[in-house]
Structure 1
Amino acid sequence: MKLSSVVPWGRSFAEYQAMFSLSADDLQGRILGCGDGPASFNAEATRLGHEVVSCDPIYQFGTEAIRSRIDAVYPEIMTQMRERADQYLWDVMGSVERLGETRMQSMSLFLEDFDAGLGAGRYVPASLPSLPFADASFALALCSHYLFLYSEHVDCTTHLASMRELCRVAQVVRVFPVVALNGAVSPHLAAVMTALRAEGLSAELQPVAYRFQRGADQMLVVRAQGCR
């Protein structure tokens, strides 16, 4: 992967809580954040005493290289957000400018934490559909804004392989959102859920409180039968 192909955009611990309906009990187990990028979820969770490992291919690059890439693409992302503002709900964020401030705050927290977290094994350079973790290494795996969102770029076969891999390493898997970039439900969702159920897994859609992208108000929850 080339860093020039990456568009870093980081979300906060509070956003993860809302996107994945994370309860106090959820946060007690070992958590994998898959595709976290420059999110501050790991940094903030660690400060609160939780055990989180994040994996993303961007972690193969150094702090300053990631910082430079963030600075390079930020103006472009902000322009795109202004052009597509009607695709989002602004009740919480308030404005595109406030969104930008929030994202930069999250990414700054990530950058401050990255070197220490990398050394501690909290940031692992890896990507789906193949993860360098043992079976059932985590109580919970979270995948934010990758699977299903990029349905035009990632085919159904890769989606299913990625979900199987997440289910291999974690007892419970939550994916948000389940809509594609156009706001419509991913064309891969039904097939993936059907296949996972056929393999003896529970695959259900659950509502979440998070509201930003129009139509994105559910997460996919997959667990082995008997897991709560």
Structure 2
Amino acid sequence: MFALRDDDLERSILGCGDGTASFNAEVTAQGGKVLSVDPIYQFSADDIQQRIRRVYPGMLSQFARQADQYVWRHFRDPGHLGSVRMSAMNRFLEDYPSGLQAGRYVEASLPELPCFDGEYDLALCSHLLFLYSDHIDLQAHVEAVLELCRVAREVRIYPLVSVDGRVSQHLPAVVRELGERGYDVGMERVDYQFQKGANDMLWVRSTAAPEENTDD
């Protein structure tokens, strides 16, 4: 969904709203550097596992009821989707205690991230901004994206549609605001698509030249 290449995985990465995804665990195992931030990281592994067990059956039922809203290309059916997601969540749970101790999982949320300016090469945000446009207003979207731009040299956001499958009403204004602030902004078609209409990601890059390394 983020069109990541091998060289992207060698960069320092911030994952915003990562939840129970296995991305941090998998990239770390390959020697990469990832910080994941999410409010859910205030809870223990046991608490998160219990929550997964509670919501998992309902999640499968919802996908089955709304199957016509999705593209069944990467997943055969709701059962296959559930199996893949449960595998990813189990991988996360295996990694979570050690990752929490190492500081790779941090309780935080937009629009305030506990990171230095330009600390990360790449910030990724999936299934949060734009998707919930009915609950997150335009100003909150602008503040969130600007915060991501503050801490990372490049930002990628996916998807750009709301839960109804329509392009978010906030997208044009967010793109315009970023352009007026001097950022390079664009959209890229990605190979991943599950929700119908969700086949583009937004990328934002700083136009500022990198500082030269001057050692005393």
Asked if Structure 1 and Structure 2 have the same fold, meaning a TM-score greater than 0.5 normalized by the shorter chain, the answer is yes
The equivalent residue for 2:180 is 198
2:35 is matched with: 53
Q: Please give the alpha-carbon distance, in whole angstroms, between the structure 1 residues aligned to 2:199 and 2:96.
A: 30
Which of 87, 95, 112 aligns to 1:130? It is 112
- The alignment's C-alpha RMSD in Å is 1.1
Query: Which consecutive residues of structure 1, in runs of 5 or more, have no partner in the other structure?
Result: 1-18
Cross-structure match for 1:88: 70
Given residue 8 of structure 2, which amino acid in structure 1 is its aligned partner? Answer: D
What is the rounded CA distance, in whole Å, between the counterparts of 1:209 and 1:147 in structure 2?
A: 20
The residue number in structure 2 matching 1:29 is 11
- The count of aligned residue pairs is 210
Higher Rg: 2
1:1-228, aligned counterparts within 5 Å? Answer: 19-225=1-207
Question: What amino acid sits opposite 2:29 in the alignment?
Answer: R
Paired-residue identity, %: 51
| TM-score where L is the length of structure 1 | 0.90
Cα distance, 1:91 vs structure 2: 1.7
Residues 41-100 of structure 1 show CA distances to partners (whole Å, capped at 9, x for unaligned) of 000111111111100000000000000000001111111111110000112200100000
> Which runs of 5 or more residues in structure 2 are unaligned?
211-216
Counterparts of 2:84 and 2:203, CA distance in 1: 27
The separation in 1 between residues aligned to 2:11 and 2:55, in whole angstroms, is: 35
Kindly provide the CA deviation profile for residues 112-133 of structure 1, in whole angstroms up to 9, marking residues without a partner as x. 0001000101001000011010
Post-superposition Cα deviations, 1:154-176, rounded to whole Å, max 9, x if no partner, equal 01100000000000000000000
Scaled by the length of structure 2, the TM-score of the pair is 0.95
Secondary structure of the residue that 1:173 maps to in structure 2? strand
Deviation at 1:227, TM superposition (A): 7.1
Q: Distance in 1 between matches of 2:136 and 2:24?
A: 26
The letter of the residue matching 1:49 is G
SS class of match (1:107): helix
Report runs of 4+ in structure 1 exceeding 2 Å deviation: none
CA 1:22/1:125 → structure 2, altered by over 3 Å: closer, same or farther?
A: same
Q: Please tell me the residue identity of whatever aligns with 2:92.
A: F
SS in 1 for 2:204: strand
Alpha-carbon deviations, 1:1-37, whole Å to 9, x = none? xxxxxxxxxxxxxxxxxx0000111111100000000
